[in-house]
Amino acid sequence: MKAIKIKKDLFYVGVNDRTKHLFENLWPLPQGVSYNSYLLMDEKTVLFDTVEIGFSDIFFTKLDSALNGKALDYLVINHMEPDHSGSLSLLKTKYPNIEIVGNTRTADMLKGYYGITDNLKIVTDGEELVLGKHRLQFHLIPMVHWPETMATYDATDKTLFSGDAFGTFGALDGGITDTQLRPEKYWDEMVRYYSNIVGKFGSPVQKAIAKLAGIEIATICSTHGPVWTEKENISNVISLYDKLSKYEAEPGVVIAYGSMYGHTEQMAETIASELAAQGIRDIVIHNVSVSPHSNIIRDVFKYKGLIVGCPTYNNQLYPEMDALLTKLAAREIKNRYFSYFGSFTWAGAAVKRLAAFAETSGWEIIGVPAEMKQAMDQKSHEAAIALAQAMAGKLSK
Ligand code: FEO
């Protein structure tokens, strides 16, 4: 495998992972993921991030092919998460004189994860490093996605090495740059990546976008997914991250339900039908025991309305619903309309516990919660209809 030239002096030396089932051992990867690494060749040579340890063989083959015998002078670490730093110890072994560029927080993680404390160049926000023709500027963007994250800007070529920012799930099936592939293939996976991985950090992402707004960006080289070079795509990518980090959403509804024998599911169906009857066209129903929670979280980031419902189980929430709500709460999603429903056979707990979740969510609670005993009767049917009408009315305003 050889490095791929992206533009003058810049090579792609990243890899594709189509083997891993779960990113972070949590999030499904139906289309794989890429771990991007880039080599900039100048009087001084610079590598931007490495790759996951399992792919180091391919990575070093590509890196060696691009260097073609030249020394590797610097490694810029934009992000220390091991999907990007995993090959670092091996890199140090192969290139013992390499100088590692990062900030004080990078240094702490380098020591903790890899025992590396020497040959470090600690940079501060806005500091520059001249390589020859190319001039790098370091912009600290903490919590996008870890505290040490930074973006590095090549002021000569107007290339932004952005770390996880503007990244997406989805392997690179041949093409590396957006001119070589169909960008639309990645938009949905970008929402899923953002919501699953970066979703909690809306405010830091907003700060990063504001901070980078003053620089002219001709190319975005993130750590995951395509290299963005076309104006329209760069604008789309930044707009999508901007919108998601402001928790802005479309006027649709996600209905996430748990059901053991189909009775609670009938409530979900009833609510969905009534929403449709009220003119809501974007309705997504997820069975929490079947849909990956990753996809449900993606859709909650897309749509303004969320309705959840489940049976009582051991006097608690249905476990899969409990797990979903824990993941949603961790993302601190703002500005949603929220309704809920539940069921029980002999003692009701689901609605009570969903009410407790609603209290802490900070979302606007819409309608009256619908509760059903055992199976749907006229009363619970009417309650489900009324709840759907309340949500539709709110979304139509
Ligand atoms: Fe792709 Fe936060 O690591």
Triad 240, 246, 250: Cα angle to 5° = 65
The pLDDT of residue 117 is: 97
Average pLDDT of each block of 10 consecutive residues along the chain (397 residues)?
95 98 98 98 98 98 97 98 98 97 98 98 98 98 97 98 98 98 97 97 98 97 98 98 98 98 98 98 98 98 98 98 98 98 97 98 98 98 98 95
CA 98 – CA 101 distance, rounded (Å): 10
CA 217 – CA 215 distance, rounded (Å): 6
State if residue 81 touches ligand 1 by the CB under 6 angstroms criterion: yes
State if residue 84 touches ligand 1 by the CB under 6 angstroms criterion: yes
Tokens of 234: 């760069």
Residues with Cβ within 8 Å of 74's Cβ and at least 6 positions away in sequence, in order, are 44, 45, 46, 47, 98, 99, 100, 101, 121, 129, 131
DSSP 57-111: HHHHHHHHHHHTT----EEE-S--SHHHHTTHHHHHHHSTTPEEEE-HHHHHHHH
State if residue 79 touches ligand 1 by the CB under 6 angstroms criterion: yes
CA of 79 to the centre of ligand 1 (A): 7
Q: Are strands 74-76 and 99-102 parallel, antiparallel or unpaired?
A: parallel
CA 16 – CA 23 distance, rounded (Å): 13
Atom of ligand 1 nearest to the CA of 145: 2
Instruction: Look up the pTM and report it.
Output: 0.97
CA of 67 to the centre of ligand 1 (A): 26
CA of 171 to the centre of ligand 1 (A): 15
Residue with tokens 């070079």: 229
Which residue has a Cα nearest atom 3 of ligand 1? 81
Which stretch of DSSP H or E encloses residue 233? helix 231-245
The pLDDT of residue 53 is: 98
CB 271 within 8 A of CB 366: no
The pLDDT of residue 397 is: 83
Atom of ligand 1 nearest to the CA of 197: 2
Tokens of 293: 């929670």
